[in-house]
Structure 1
């Protein structure tokens, strides 16, 4: 029987394991968007209103150490337009600051 989802209790010991994730050093990397899903936020947060639409992206980065995948959420909120601007600029769509932008 697989017990990987068994809870640990506060104060319990655990068996140390090697990290299964590839950690890339800080820097700039080319990436590939490997997944995109349209979702609505269904949570309890002071920062993100319930029902906010967002894009959940899977981004694959490759470095000398190997490949790693990062999941990122782009919330469709006016106050987070800067993050949308940065993302679309990073994939070559180059929004112009101060002008309306319709992503392709």
Structure 2
């Protein structure tokens, strides 16, 4: 039995980083959803103001096409925060999995 592997502790992912990445992801997702809903309401209000027969689904699709690039510009900081925290947490998980694989290979 390898005593050196028994003394080493596995690298544990930081639970605070996991919470931070989830919060960042939810914050960015809710901001994008809010933008989509606001654009849908604005487009539908405009359509009703000019008395045009446009279904709500068409307004929602148009809002979806506009919201994607607009959210990339408006919420850039939140997107970068979510991406970085998720990447850091994923790296910690990979290190932990690699350690487990090395431990199992050594047995």
TM-score, with normalisation over the residues of structure 2? 0.23
> Greater share of helix residues, 1 or 2?
2
> Greater share of strand residues, 1 or 2?
1
Task: Find the structure with the greater CA-based Rg.
Answer: 2
Task: With a CA cutoff of 8 Å and minimum separation of 6, indicate the structure with the bigger relative contact order.
Answer: 2
TM-score, with normalisation over the residues of structure 1? 0.24
